[in-house]
Structure 1
Amino acid sequence: MITPRHLLRIQDLSAEEIRSLLDLAEALKRGEGSSTSLAGRCIGLLFNVPSTRTRVSFQVAAAQLGAVSLPYGTQELRLANRESIEDTIGVLNRYLDALVVRWYDMNEPGAGHERLRQMADLARIPVINALDDEEHPCQVLADLLTLRELFGADAASRRIAYVWSYSPRQKTPGVLHSSMMAAALLGHRATIAHPPGFAPREKVTRSARAIAARSGGDITLTENLEEAVKGCAAVYTLSWKSAVLTGQEEIQARTRLAGRWRVTAPLMRQASDGEEAVFLDCMPTTRGEEVDAEVKDGPRSRIFQQAENRLHTQKALLTQLFDGTLRGEPR
């Protein structure tokens, strides 16, 4: 039996595989390639929390490739009545050709990623991480395509500022962690701006910097919001749960940061590497909380380009998982 290839972390792909996947996504976006390459395939989507961009883009990607997508929440399956993961995956193995999973609970940091890893260990079909409490590789593939479209061959040399922004809702650090690891793998330059107590998880920073040392990339952390955006080509707003603060301690810290840690029009005016920086956002975000409306809706915003690219990179990912391009363990 051939071991299925899973995508649980962005580093499950090599730099060469990421570039190949982006090449295919570009071609598919231009309308090149077969629209029925996945005819007869069934793609399951298992989500324990709501989703707009990830769910809809995977459904449309499957349909445009000729596959059927079958979305369901965990409350719709016997998982809700304590059926084991072993039994659930044992059954889904017999019905589906791939399983896309979003699973996390902000009250149990790390448990979602472990659940996905457990599923992948049991699965005889590809398991794709559609966001857990550690990573969001699918979002970051779309971000990489967007950066390639914006900056071309210069993408690796253009600094991207990933800015922690206030939100009353605790959010997973998945996009942040995958962004850091992708930048490291591809030799990109990333600055992460965060307030005290909201640094990325230390193990992720350590790993990303070790990989960047080999690839020629750079991963910089700073608690100075204004310094972070100077010399950058893009400002990417994110919010994520603290790795060290808990309970009321985090809620109080987060509340104190409201208004101060937000992407504003004056902040964007400081952001430039010789030309005006663009604004990026994986969404959802609330105008007036993480970002000013005039920035999110302004001429420098590229958020809907990012959102569209979810479709193209996921079509490329599904195609390569089934055509043999992505086979076995990463190189």
Structure 2
Amino acid sequence: MSARHFLSLMDCTFQELQSLIRRGIELKDLRNRGVVFEPLKNRVLGMLFEKASTRTRLSFEAGMIQLGGQAIFLSPRDTQLGRGEPIGDAAIVMSRMLDGMMIRTFAHSTLTTFAAHSRVPVINGLSDDLHPCQLLADMQTFVEQRGSIAGKTVAWIGDGNNVCNSYIEAAVQFDFQLRVACPEGFEPNPVFVERAAGRLSIVRDPREAVAGAHLVSTDVWTSMGQEQEADQRLALFHPYQVTRALLDQAAPEVLFMHCLPAHRGEEISLDLLDDPRAVAWDQAENRLHVQKALLEFLIDPAYQHA
């Protein structure tokens, strides 16, 4: 039987995604009650980082430890990948020694190539195309605080980047309407837009996107690898800053999310993360819990895949 991978939200059924979120909430409760639960004892996760990370590394490494396993940090600089070893060859060798692999990379093809040669599950910890683990955490946070997101309206403000692409996939899987407000030329990837099946609208005015929304989300204006564009982006995106006044245009029960790190004074106003509608800290913590559910789902052979 071939390994099950998680490179995109579309790699799971809606029922499986729902199960992962429920399980994330259960595992969060176990940890909060101090219950030791170690289904991945003696299992090892490899973690390959081409991009810098705080939340992804902490959540996967701590998650494996809490589940009784271990995680090994790998970077191209410290492995033969940095000296030109083909990613497919590395996948064959690594997957014979590990029980799972998490990769945080630039090109999405790195993930697909690795997965094609791997005998163990591969998880997308972020690529230039998608960030599905972030969306699992976002959906868990919404469910905890507001219940089902089905039929609700979500607004994405800013760059049509990898997180935005994953929001488009989430709109399809979780059945909500997504409005993306971005400057011309910074729309999400047309491949993902085409798959949105009438659940997506792209507008220029952030007030139009936010009007009546139940969830508002944003990200930095300059992602890793785009630093040379920073000055140009600051000018173009200035009208897209999320402020308390902009949130006031949303539904009264709106939640504000940011995948972090945040650049206060740029994509958000200086005080926005202090607003009671902001749940970025809960959202960040939930990376740990829902990814533990994902690790259990993919790596533990005894786990009943719902």
Pairwise CA RMSD: 2.3
| Contact 1:46–1:102 (Cα < 8 Å) also in 2 | yes
- Tell me if 1:13 matches 2:12: yes
Give the Å deviation of 1:297.
2.3
Aligned residue in 1 for 2:266 = 289
Aligned residue in 1 for 2:157 = 163
Aligned residues: 300
| Contact 1:173–1:241 (Cα < 8 Å) also in 2 | no
Cα distance in structure 1, aligned partners of 2:255 and 2:40: 36
Q: Which runs of 5+ in 1 are unaligned?
A: 105-111, 166-171
Q: Which runs of 5+ in 2 are unaligned?
A: none
Q: SS state of the match for residue 178, structure 1?
A: helix
Aligned residue in 2 for 1:108 = none
1:101-116 matched pairs, under 5 angstroms: 101-104=103-106, 112-116=107-111
Aligned residue in 1 for 2:182 = 194
TM-score by length of 2: 0.91
Aligned partner (choices 255, 278, 303) of residue 278 of structure 1: 255
Per-residue displacement from partner, 1:9-66 (whole Å, max 9, x unpaired)? Answer: 1111111110111111111111188611000100010001110001100011101100
| Contact 1:102–1:130 (Cα < 8 Å) also in 2 | yes
Does 57-66 or 256-265 show the bigger shift? Answer: 256-265
Aligned residue in 2 for 1:22 = 21
Aligned residue in 2 for 1:107 = none
Aligned residue in 1 for 2:235 = 256
Give the Å deviation of 1:253.
5.0
| Contact 2:222–2:230 (Cα < 8 Å) also in 1 | no
| Contact 2:40–2:300 (Cα < 8 Å) also in 1 | no
Aligned residue in 2 for 1:138 = 133
Aligned residue in 1 for 2:48 = 46
Aligned residue in 1 for 2:73 = 71
Letter in 1 for 2:255: V
- Tell me if 1:308 matches 2:285: yes
Aligned partner (choices 124, 128, 132) of residue 123 of structure 2: 128
Aligned residue in 2 for 1:109 = none
Give the Å deviation of 1:235.
1.4
Give the Å deviation of 1:147.
1.0
CA 1:252 to 1:308, structure 2 compared with 1: closer, same or farther past 3 Å?
closer
Q: SS state of the match for residue 5, structure 1?
A: coil
- Tell me if 1:298 matches 2:300: no
| Contact 1:184–1:219 (Cα < 8 Å) also in 2 | no
Cα distance in structure 1, aligned partners of 2:57 and 2:230: 29
Q: SS state of the match for residue 299, structure 1?
A: coil
Cα distance in structure 1, aligned partners of 2:234 and 2:300: 49
Give the Å deviation of 1:241.
7.1
Aligned partner (choices 176, 192, 202) of residue 221 of structure 1: 202
Aligned partner (choices 137, 144, 168) of residue 180 of structure 1: 168
Does 262-271 or 303-312 show the bigger shift? Answer: 262-271
Give the Å deviation of 1:314.
0.5
Cα distance in structure 1, aligned partners of 2:254 and 2:175: 20
Does 290-299 or 45-54 show the bigger shift? Answer: 290-299
TM-score by length of 1: 0.85
Give the Å deviation of 1:298.
2.1
Aligned partner (choices 132, 142, 149) of residue 147 of structure 1: 142
| Contact 1:10–1:135 (Cα < 8 Å) also in 2 | no
- Tell me if 1:322 matches 2:303: no
| Contact 1:135–1:177 (Cα < 8 Å) also in 2 | yes
Give the fraction of aligned pairs with identical amino acids, expressed as a percent. Answer: 36
Give the Å deviation of 1:72.
1.7
- Tell me if 1:269 matches 2:259: no
Per-residue displacement from partner, 1:92-131 (whole Å, max 9, x unpaired)? Answer: 1221100000010xxxxxxx11111000000001110000
Q: SS state of the match for residue 93, structure 1?
A: helix
Aligned partner (choices 100, 113, 126) of residue 118 of structure 1: 113
| Contact 2:221–2:233 (Cα < 8 Å) also in 1 | no
